[in-house]
């Protein structure tokens, strides 16, 4: 049955074709509209095979293959408020939304447009076309061809974006980096928006469908030729006109017409400046002189101040050593301050010339940048362009009558200004400083560092100990303003005196006791022994005898043992003396011996008479 139906259909088709080709001038579209498809499907209409082939050739010649997704050209046949009807010689016209023609607001009937068949037949049997997709396909082909052939393309700058601009090229949104807009830095991107410019396609990313274009590449070739010509004519000392291209903290880049040169900040002005923008501004035209360049002339050093006469050459001849001048502090260093006397002419005030004080301080203690100061010219060398100034010379030298104001042994009050390991600097008045050695701070305290005794800013009473006018030095003492308590202690704690005290500390070689806040005595180990043979310990109270007193070295040595041993020695000496006295009493004298001998003689004579 299927085979019979197929044969019937073929016969019907053949018959229909035969009828169609009988009038070869008939329009294919008209034929299709008048063709009885119902009879054809039922197998009633029959078409000859030869006529059917002829019909198929006519269809192939006049109609597009809607199944082939190729870009075809269509004609606008009608435009509604929202859509455009496009004829592409298919069974029916296609429909495209007017949104796809926003780039072409002048679209009208009869215009030829490129389209791509999007849907061959929608639910209503309508052919759906896409102009946007067709443009995209054709655009990528054109962009790739332009890139491969290095052709110049035209594009419309749509808007700004981060780092550059978005450009419409053949309907594709390409990226124009800010560095590729022009050979010089661009500060106002908005001036290029909504402009049509020429570009060169420099990069295509096929994976992400990204396109990068450059306008700078079009003009670089011309600039390179211009640059070579300019470089070949460069000579040292040559004056050229340029435009300020870029300003940095260290200098200014000048565009000399395709060639860039650098004016270092020190070559911008004879005066000191903190930043180049104090002298020049962007896009400013100015003349510069070529100072130097490398062998390839790729690094060109330019100068601006060299076009003007050096300020030292214009310095008035009337200025001489000893004159008073006024100027502004422009730079401060640890060793001094630079004063601009006239524009471009500076003098140095060394810190030693800022005050009569011999105790030097930092320049920041005297002046600040921007201060207007008056000074005296101390040295002036016009050939080497050097000038030294002084501030202290504006006031009398306080050392002029120093012997009258501060004679030796006179007492004064001063302010502690600074410490050293060996003493304290005290300011008696501006320009008059004296040194108190650490040994002259106190009669009694053992001071390791002056900060243990006083603080910076404290007021101290002092006595002038020594005065060196030529060396401008004062030796002061603080302890000399009070009585030396050791003079009194020399009598109170004389050798042999006995005092009661408590052992405050025990050390390796002995122990210490404190008689008062000033005197701490040392007891050697062997002098700690008590009468019973034991030794005194920390906290024990006992009597001590002074066995050494040195006022100069503030040394006091005492002994407990000496107290009872001396008593023993006294007792021994007394016993010996008494024993000696007893012995003396028991001894016969010469007279006694004579008397004894006489009595013995008398007795012997009496005995002999009796006989």
Q: Where are the domains of the chain?
A: 71-136, 150-221, 234-303, 311-393, 398-481, 485-567
Residues of the chain with pLDDT below 70 are 1-69, 91, 118-126, 221, 295-298, 358-360, 567-611
User: What architecture is domain 71-136?
Assistant: Beta Barrel (2.40)
Note the pLDDT of residue 609: 55
The tokens for 378 are: 């101390």
Write the Ramachandran bin of 568: left for phi over 0, alpha for psi from -120 to 50, otherwise beta. alpha
Whether 234-303 and 311-393 share one fold: the answer is yes
The tokens for 603 are: 């007795």
Written out in words, the top-level CATH class of the domain with range 398-481 is mainly beta
304 close to 267: Cβ distance less than 8 angstroms: yes
Written out in words, the top-level CATH class of the domain with range 485-567 is mainly beta
How confident is the model over 390-419, as pLDDT tens digits? 998 888 888 888 888 889 989 999 999 888
3-class secondary structure for 417-454?
A: EEECCCEEEEEEECCEEEEEEHHHCCCCCCCCCHHHCC
Q: Report the topology of domain 234-303.
A: OB fold (Dihydrolipoamide Acetyltransferase, E2P) (2.40.50)
Three-class SS state of 260: strand
Crossing angle of the two packed helices 2-21 and 49-62, in degrees rounded to 10: 70
> CB count, 10 Å around CB of 363?
21
Note the pLDDT of residue 316: 76
The domain over range 150-221 is classified in CATH as 1.10.10.10:
no
Provide CB contacts within 8 A for 381, sequence distance 6+. 387
Residues 95, 125: Cα–Cα separation, whole Å: 12
User: What architecture is domain 311-393?
Assistant: Beta Barrel (2.40)
Residues 581, 287: Cα–Cα separation, whole Å: 127
Q: Tell me the H-state helices in 422-560.
A: 485-492
Residues 80, 100: Cα–Cα separation, whole Å: 14
Residues 303, 287: Cα–Cα separation, whole Å: 9
How confident is the model over 276-309, as pLDDT tens digits? 988 899 889 999 998 888 766 668 899 998 888 8
**CA-atom Rg of the chain in angstroms:** 61
487 close to 472: Cβ distance less than 8 angstroms: no
Provide CB contacts within 8 A for 504, sequence distance 6+. 511, 512, 513, 514, 520, 538
The tokens for 111 are: 């215009």
Note the pLDDT of residue 18: 44
């Amino acid at each position: 049955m299927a085979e019979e139906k197929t044969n019937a259909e073929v016969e019907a088709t053949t018959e229909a074709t035969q009828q169609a080709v009988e009038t070869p001038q008939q329009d294919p579209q008209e034929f299709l509209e008048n063709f009885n498809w119902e009879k054809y499907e039922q197998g009633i209409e029959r078409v000859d095979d030869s006529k059917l082939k002829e019909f198929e050739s006519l269809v192939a010649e006049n109609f597009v293959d809607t199944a082939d997704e190729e870009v075809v050209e269509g004609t606008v046949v009608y435009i509604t408020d929202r859509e455009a009807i496009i004829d592409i010689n298919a069974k029916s016209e296609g429909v495209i939304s007017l949104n796809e023609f926003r780039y072409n607001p002048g679209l009208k009937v009869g215009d030829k447009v490129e389209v791509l068949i999007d849907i061959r037949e929608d639910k209503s049997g309508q052919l759906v076309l896409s102009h946007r997709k067709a443009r995209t396909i054709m655009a990528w082909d054109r962009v790739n061809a332009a890139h491969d052939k290095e052709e110049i393309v035209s594009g419309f700058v749509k808007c700004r974006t981060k780092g550059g601009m978005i450009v419409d090229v053949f309907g594709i949104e390409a990226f124009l980096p800010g560095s590729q807009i022009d050979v010089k830095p661009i500060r106002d991107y908005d001036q290029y928006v909504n402009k049509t410019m020429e570009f060169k396609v420099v990069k295509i990313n096929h994976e992400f469908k990204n396109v990068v274009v450059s306008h700078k590449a079009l003009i670089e070739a011309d600039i390179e030729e211009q640059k070579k010509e300019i470089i070949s004519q460069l000579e040292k000392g040559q004056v050229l006109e340029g435009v300020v291209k870029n300003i940095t903290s260290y200098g200014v880049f000048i565009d000399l017409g395709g060639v860039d040169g650098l004016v270092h900040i020190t070559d911008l002005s004879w005066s000191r400046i903190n930043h180049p923008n104090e002298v020049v501004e962007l896009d400013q035209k100015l003349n510069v002189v070529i100072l130097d360049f490398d062998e390839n002339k790729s690094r060109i050093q330019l100068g601006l101040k060299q076009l003007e006469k050096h300020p030292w050459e214009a310095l008035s001849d009337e200025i001489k050593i000893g004159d008073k001048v006024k100027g502004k502090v422009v730079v401060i260093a640890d060793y001094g301050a630079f004063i601009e006397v006239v524009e471009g002419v500076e003098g140095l005030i060394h810190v030693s010339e800022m005050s009569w004080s011999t105790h030097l301080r930092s320049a920041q203690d005297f002046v600040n940048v921007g201060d207007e100061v008056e000074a005296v010219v101390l040295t002036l060398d016009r050939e080497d362009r050097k000038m030294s100034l002084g501030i202290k010379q504006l006031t009398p030298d306080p050392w002029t009558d120093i012997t009258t104001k501060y004679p030796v042994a006179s007492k004064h009050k001063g302010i502690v200004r600074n410490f050293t390991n060996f003493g304290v600097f005290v300011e008696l008045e501006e320009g008059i400083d004296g040194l108190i050695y650490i040994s002259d701070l106190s009669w009694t305290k053992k001071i390791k560092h002056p900060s243990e005794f006083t603080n910076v800013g404290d007021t101290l009473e002092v006595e002038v100990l020594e005065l060196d006018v030529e060396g401008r030095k004062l030796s002061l003492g603080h302890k000399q303003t009070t009585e030396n308590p050791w003079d009194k202690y020399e009598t109170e704690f004389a050798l042999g005196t006995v005092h009661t005290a408590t052992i405050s500390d025990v050390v390796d070689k002995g122990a210490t006791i404190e008689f008062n806040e000033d005197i701490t005595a040392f007891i050697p180990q062997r002098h700690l022994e008590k009468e019973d043979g034991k030794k005194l310990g920390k906290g024990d109270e006992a009597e001590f005898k002074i066995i050494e007193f040195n006022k100069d070295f503030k040394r006091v040595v005492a002994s407990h043992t000496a107290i009872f041993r001396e008593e023993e020695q006294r007792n021994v000496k007394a016993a010996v003396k008494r024993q000696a006295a007893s012995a003396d009493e028991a001894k016969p004298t010469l007279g006694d011996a004579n008397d004894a001998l006489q009595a013995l003689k008398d007795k012997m004579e009496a005995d002999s008479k009796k006989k």
